[in-house]
Amino acid sequence: MPEAGSPAPPRALVRTLLRSGTPAEPTDADDGDLAAVGDATLARASRYWVVVPLAYRIAAFVKVFIGFTAANGRLGLGPVLGATLFAVVANTAATIWVLRAGGLRARFTGRALGLDLAVGVVLNFVVAMTAPTPVQPFAVDVSWTWLVSGVAMWAGTCGLPAALWLFVASVPLRAALTLAGGLPLSHQLALTRSIGCLVALAVAIVIAVAILILLGVGTRFAVDIGLRRGREAERRRTRRIMHDSVLQTLEALAIAAPGDDAHAATRLSELRSVAKAQAAELRQRITEPVPDGSTRGFAVELADVATEMARDGLRTQLVAADFADDRKVSQDRRTALVEAVREALRNTVKHSGTNQVVLRVEERDGGIAVVARDQGQGFDVRDRPPGFGISQSIVARLAEVGGRGTVDSQPGRGTRVTMWVPG
């Protein structure tokens, strides 16, 4: 359902979208909420449905006017040209209004469709009464274009039954137009053109319904893919949070230290402090909104990470002399880069065998690069495949925001982790 106070979408389109189904329905517990969000998105998008028949009307009026002049020359040119110019100008203005207003709003839908239908009827009577008798049926064919697209609008917004009622009402209307032009209903040309106009209405209804079905099925496919990708991204994010906080704490608890028996109480107190700090950090990530990145400098955020890692005994030298902290980087990219740096420093604590690291931040390739360099024991990147921390918390996290992460290391020569995001 659309959110409270939002414009209601064309009902026929929404019914088509909701009933079209998807090839593989989601099975997770929260998929009902996700589907509701997708349906609300489709409902908001369907407000722009009327732009399609409006655009068709503009092009069709030009086409039928050219055909009329080619077949009849100057005879009846005045009323047909006036109707064409009026239709092009009025429908161009209506299209611009719909686009600028954010679609056709619910409170305007009924009145807008009623006004559009009334204008079409009046326009047809004007043309029928002013066109010369020999070309009157052909002149009405031109103005009838307004009603053809109008019926398509009703089919898309109020459903097939409303369009069928309009089709039935168009039969006496077409007869009235013939009489208004001074022709008898038995006139052969008028009868032939009347049948042609009714066929055009029927075709418009069929095409409108077919477009709705195709649009509904295609859009539901797209929404289903988007929902699945969103769930996968959320799962990756959850795994990273658990890895970067809870798992790190559990591994710290499992690390044996010399003199554990003699200093068990001290060790237990330290572990409790670490667990308490990690719990507070995890709670803050879950409950607090994302801060505005413009209020704090990026170098300050890195300094906070260095201070955080200092409690694990890591001494970080932050070098940012050539970095201008006023570079505009989106909050998502800043957050991804900070989290990747935090993971790189944690890997230094756990695996490098040293308690010192140099953290350098600089502008590079139109973005921000952070290089973490230690002089620890290093490792052979060819023999040791990257673990979850490197592949997901660094490389994949940066790749999701358009950045990249690389690890260079050799046994006995330390490790260098380069992390970059675009500006």
Sign of CA dihedral 102, 106, 111, 114: positive
Pairwise CA distance, residues 174 & 176, whole Å = 5
Nearest residue to 201 via CA among 136, 137, 155:
155
Tokens of 246: 């809870």
Pairwise CA distance, residues 215 & 226, whole Å = 16
What Å distances lie between residue 174 and 135, 178, 205, 247, CA to CA? 15, 6, 17, 77
Contact 298, 421 (CB under 8 A): no
Q: What is the pLDDT of residue 93?
A: 92
pTM of the model: 0.47
Q: What is the pLDDT of residue 348?
A: 86
Q: What is the pLDDT of residue 247?
A: 62
What Å distances lie between residue 251 and 16, 245, 347, CA to CA? 53, 10, 12
What Å distances lie between residue 5 and 1, 2, 33, 107, 318, CA to CA? 11, 8, 19, 11, 51
Query: CA angle, 171 as apex, 152 and 151 as ends, to 5°?
Result: 10
Q: What is the pLDDT of residue 20?
A: 36
Contacts of 173 (CB under 8 A, 6+ apart): 121, 124
Spell out the SS3 assignment of 283-298. Answer: HHHHHCCCCCHHHCCH
Pairwise CA distance, residues 197 & 193, whole Å = 6
Contacts of 181 (CB under 8 A, 6+ apart): 128, 129, 131, 133, 136, 137, 140, 190
Pairwise CA distance, residues 184 & 360, whole Å = 91
Q: What is the pLDDT of residue 381?
A: 73
Q: What is the pLDDT of residue 264?
A: 62
Pairwise CA distance, residues 124 & 122, whole Å = 5
Pairwise CA distance, residues 374 & 413, whole Å = 9
The residues of the chain scoring below 50 in pLDDT are 1-39, 42, 290-295
Tokens of 59: 């092009």
